[in-house]
Structure formats: C-alpha cells, structure tokens
Structure 1
Amino acid sequence: MFRQAALRRLARPPTATPSMIRVSVPRRTLFSRKQKPSGRAVENLDVRRISQQTEEYYRNRQIFLWCGTIAGVVSFIYTAWKLKVELSKPAKLDTSLPSTDPLNAPNAADRKVVVHDEDGREIVPTGNSTVPTFPRTLDLPAYTAPITATTPDAPETLTTQTITTPTGTTEYTLVGLGLRTVTFVNLQVYVVGYYIATSDIAALQNALTKKVNPIATTLVPGEREELRAALLDPAEGEATWDELLAAGIPARSAFRVIPVRDTDFHHLRDGFVRAIQAKAGPATMADDTFGEAMRQFRAVFNRGTVPKRKELLLVRDETGRLSIAYDAGANKKEGRAAGRQLIGVVEDERVSRALWLNYLAGKKVASEPARKSIVEGIMEFVERPVGTVASQVVPVVNAKV
C-alpha cells in the first residue's frame, strides 16, 4: 500500500514555480524577418456618417462657388456704374486758361473734335468704321431747276434736271451728325450730318436767343439749359423747328447722307416718304398740290442701287425748295463724271420742312444720336453773341489721319 502511494508520487509531474518557468523569446538578428502580429485589425465603418460628410462637403463647395460668382458679377456692375458716373460728370475747368477760352467752357468735353486729313482739310470723326469722317464744311453751288414744266401739249412732262452754272459756291458748316439705325437689332443704315450755310447762322442765333430771352444777345448757362430742354422736348421742339423752317430760318441748310452698307434709292425713298407723311399730317397729305409734290419726290428716287460710302445730299434753299444731289463717283465705262450731280428738285416747301423735322425734332426721329448732336451744336451757337459765327466743333486738333 505504501509502495503504491510512493509510485504514484513519483509518476506525478512536479508543480511549476515562478522560478522554474522559462519563456522562450525568439531573438531577432540582422537577417531575421519582423514577425507580424498574429491578430487582425478591425475597423467599424459608419456608411451613413461618411455619406453625410460627403454631401455636406459638396454642398459647402457649391455655396462657396456661387458666392464667388455673385460677388464677381456685383463688383463688375458696381465698377461699370462708377465709371459711368465719373464719365458723365462735367469736365473740370482749367484755371490756367482765361474764362473766355472755348476750351474752358463747361461743355467743352462734349464738343466734337476736329482733325486734319493729309490734305489739311478739317474733318470730324463719326465713330463709324465704314464712314469714319465727315467734312467740317461743304462748298455747295445753288441748285436751281424745277422738276416739271407745264406746256399745252404735255402739261406734266418731266424735264431734264441741270445745275445752273454758279457764280460761286456757298460754305455750309456742320452742326451735328449721327448714325441712322432701324429695327430692334439696331441695323446700321447711314450716317447723316446737318449743315447750315455759315452766313445764315446769325439768323438762327438771333431767333433762338430771342425765343428764350427777348432782350438778350447771348444766353447764360441757365437759359441755354432751358433752350436745350425745349429743343429736346418732342412737342415743343417740333413746334419750334416747324415755326423756324416756315419762316425760312435757317435760310439754307442741307443733310448729307452716306450709307454704311449697300442699299438702293427705293429703300431710301420709302423711309423718306414715311417720315414726310408722319410729319406733314393728314390735312396736308389731303391737299392735291402736296400730293403732286410727293409724286415728284418719288420720281426722283426711281433709280438703282446706292453703294456704301456714296454721298446723297438733301439741300433746302431760302424758298424752301428741296434739291437732291447724288455723287456716284467717276465711271469711265458708263461715261459718268465725278462729283455731285443734281437728280431732282421738289418745289413745295412743305415737303422739305416735313423731311427736316424728321431729323430735328419730334417724338420719333430718324436718328436720335444725330438729333442730340444737332442740339448740342445749336447750344454752342447761342452761347456766343448774336452776329458772330460760333465754331461748333472745337477744339481743333492739329493731327493727321
């Protein structure tokens, strides 16, 4: 029994103590590999949170871009507005110049600039690339020839239009000019300039000055503003010009029309006829004499094409007679001479008056830029004493173009 217990104790393994435990730690040498951890890293991904963060990022990015766009547009508009305000301010007077110097006038910045071409002639820039300049002055002969002649055999026979050999020419001075456009897309048609016989400017000065101040010989700034407002007013401006033209003031004037694109006489005629009918009114249009004058006017434009840059002149003399001249340029093949040729005359004064009103005044004019330019030219006339010829296009720049 004791023997069996002793054998069992010998067969039992000894109890391990801390001093008896040995831990086998692998040694790492220069050529041994780094042991990878036996465990695997696990991350819990929140798909909903990631989706919300992505949406928030793109939303903030879009808001930032829209804010930048709006800020850019607002700054552009504000800069353009500030620039317009600065440009619209009157020019500051140069204190180094005397008060009587025309360059020191309050509206000197609005005056048209005159330059000299290669031949030394004074020209005025139009701002149009096709017709870049207009001459400051024109020398025109007296166009005198009736359009019809009455004979017993042919009471309505048209006669050949001729130019009476003039004993001299008359100088006409440019008052204002502008571009004629049509349709809602502002299709450019022609550049038109208004000329007045230089010797007739004094009568226009006197009439307009007396209209504002009967005892004045020149208008002060406040009176000039009153006259400008009256001429730009549709009803009052038309009444003023109608009264002046009916009285023969100015006695001689002309409109110079230069197309900026190829057109024809029929197209120009239709525009002129509509303008005359609108300005003449139903009572005048019903008059038989006026109707005959309109038939004569239409007959003058029964022609072909009008290439761009060719000159058409509408001249009104002291009796109100309308003379129409055209410069087609020299053409040896057709035997056509260079220079202005008279193509027709309309005797009835009411035709030229209605045509003039189409450019000078009214609610709707052929060219608003031309009307405003003409009014500014008139303002420069009346700021000088009556009897002096004001230079309405200053300063004169000694430059070559």
Structure 2
Amino acid sequence: MTGWLTDAGLSRTSIGLFGSIFFVYAINFLWAPVIDRFRLPLFRHLGDRKSWIVFLLLIMTAACAAISLISPQADMLWLSLLAMTIALASATCDIAIDGFRVDSLDPDTEAPLIPYAAAFATSGWWTGYSLLGAAAFYMKGLSDMSWASVFSYLALFCLMMTAVVVLFVERDSRRLAQLEKKAAALGQGMWAQIRFTLIEPFRALVQRYGSTIVILLLSFLFTFKMGEAFLGRMSITFYKEIGFSDAQIATYSKMVTWWVTIVFSLIGAYFNHRLGIFRGLLIGGLAMAATNLLFAWIALAGPKESLYLLAVIADGFTSAFATVVLVSFVTLLTDRVFSATQYALLASIANFGRTTVSGGSGYVVDLLNGDWATFFVLTTLMVLPSLLILWWLIRRLQARQFIDRS
C-alpha cells in the first residue's frame, strides 16, 4: 500500500498518516474478550480459535478483492475504508492466532519450547509479510502490472490460505474446560457473565503481578520498538526516494529479509533460552537500535546495493532476535485461560507505537526537510527509554520471584 501511495504522488506526511488507520492493532484488546469467550455459530464446528481465523481470512479476501477495483486518486475514501477493514480483520485474527499458539504449550511442562514457538510465529509472520510483499513488488516492477491487479492476486492467495487453515489446522479445544469452570464459579447471571468476559481477564493480570509491575510492563512494551516502527513506516518511501527500483526493494527488503528472519529467529530462540529474558531483551534492544545507523549510512552514501544488502541483513537479524525474545517474554506472563485477551492487551501496547505514534514519521522527515540520515539517528535514540524501564521492571519481577534472578 505504501508503494502504491508513493507512486500515486501522495506526500510523505500523507503516507505516514494514512498508515495510522492501523491503530486498530493498538486497541484490539478491547474486543479480545469476545474472541476468548465465544465461537462463531456458522463456523462452530471448526473449534474455539480456528472458527474466528477462517471467518476473518474471508473478510480480508473480500476487502483485497474490492481494493483491486479502485484507485487512490479517484477513490481515496473507499480505499481508506477498505484498508481499515483489512486492518480490523487482521488485528482480530492476530488475537485468535496468538491465543491458539499460547494455548498450545503448557508453561509448567513445556516452558523451554516457548522461545521456539515464538521463533516459528515470527518466521510465519515474516513469511506473509516479506514473501508476499516481494511477490507484489516483483509483479509491479518486472511485469509492469498495476497495483490494483497486484491486490487481486493477493486476494486470491488469501482465499487459498483460508482453505489451508480449514483443511490442515487441527481443531482446538484444550482450554475450554478451564474456561467454563472459571465462568461457572462467578455465577450464571447475565452480569456475572459480562463481568467474566469483559473484566476478569484484565483483573486477573493486575491481581497476579500488581499494579506497579503491570504499569512498568505496559510502558516498556509501548516504547521498546518505537524506533523500529518509525523506520519501518517510512522505509519503502526512503528506498524509492534514494533511488532503488521496485525489483531491488522486492529482492532485498522482502526476499533477503524473509530468509534472514527465518534463520535468525531460530538462532535467536536458542540464544534466548541460553541468555535468559533480561539479557536477551537488553542485547536485542541495543542491537536493534544500532542497526538503524546503517540506514543513515545509506542516506549519506546513496543507492549502493552492497550497503543495502548489509543493512537489511543486519536489521533482519536484530529485529528477529528482539521479536523472538519479546514474544517469549509476553507469552510467559500470560494466563492460559484468558490467553487471547491478555496477550492481545500486551501485544497491542507494543503495537501502539508501531501503528499510531509512528504515523507522524512522515511529518518528522518533512520537518527535517528530507534529511533521512538525521531521521534514522533519531530512531536509534528512541530505544533508550525502554531499556531503562526494562531494568526497573526486571528488578521488580525478580523481587516478586516471577522470574529467576540468574
């Protein structure tokens, strides 16, 4: 979408603000209790989480197909509404998928597997983001296909993935007995059920850790990937302005990043297990921030492919490592009965900077008069507050014996 809007001539500020429609990722915890509590009647036979995943994939398929019929210049309002529809369906689908993953592992007996589950989740997400992103840019850059036609192919692929989920993802029902037992304990009245669905998941989180730890945790998650979010929001626009072609963007930013992410996600899972949560998050945060300086180097040196390759490899490695550690950390803090809601709350706070605050990234570049090098230096500095909060948070968790002091 960013590539399409750039080609259509929209300003950097407009492109950055357009991306703010994905603020729904930052507030999806508000309706996560519904995903935790209910199954869709029409797809009930598919299971607890799977029914929601299939339904939402169908919505995304329809929205992509509709986008292929319009243009940014003539139908910006409809384009925005359809993009919002995709964002809303995708953010809700994330709730169900994360819940499915968290439910699949017992933290008491399978805790060592959690970093590897996080690695496969990260690899899967990047496969969708990078492989399909590369296909889109290749179709546009090598065959001179229109962006509208590209979206029609993405709609077809989304429909194919829906069929894959229906046929090959097993029906899930592991947590339903615990869920119903807790719901019954609060009573059968309407207010009791509303309280259980909408309030209990959040109350249980505060009751377990205490308000101070929860506030520190939310503050850390909000700030940890802020710099990466600012960089990611404007990266395609930067590559185009600096002089890279659509084919080069597809090769390096999508295909190379895809392989790097998959490989280093698995390596990151191993080191996460060996280093522990605190050291893993600290090292991951510092490394992720430092690699942003490579993009400042590109801004000064110009469109050199060798430097571009170095930057995407380094960025892919540090981003994969930091993501695996972060997902593992959040997973360990999540109650399995309210897994979708609590994980959605924590993940949505982490997404808040990526999806809303970073909407001003284009404005910052315009304010700097297109000084991309300074912009990337600023994104490097953005990680420092989160690391200070992390140090305080870890000390609190250790004092309450929620994590090992080692």
Q: TM-score, normalised by structure 1?
A: 0.23
Higher strand share: 1
More helix by share: 2
Structure whose alpha-carbon radius of gyration is higher: 1
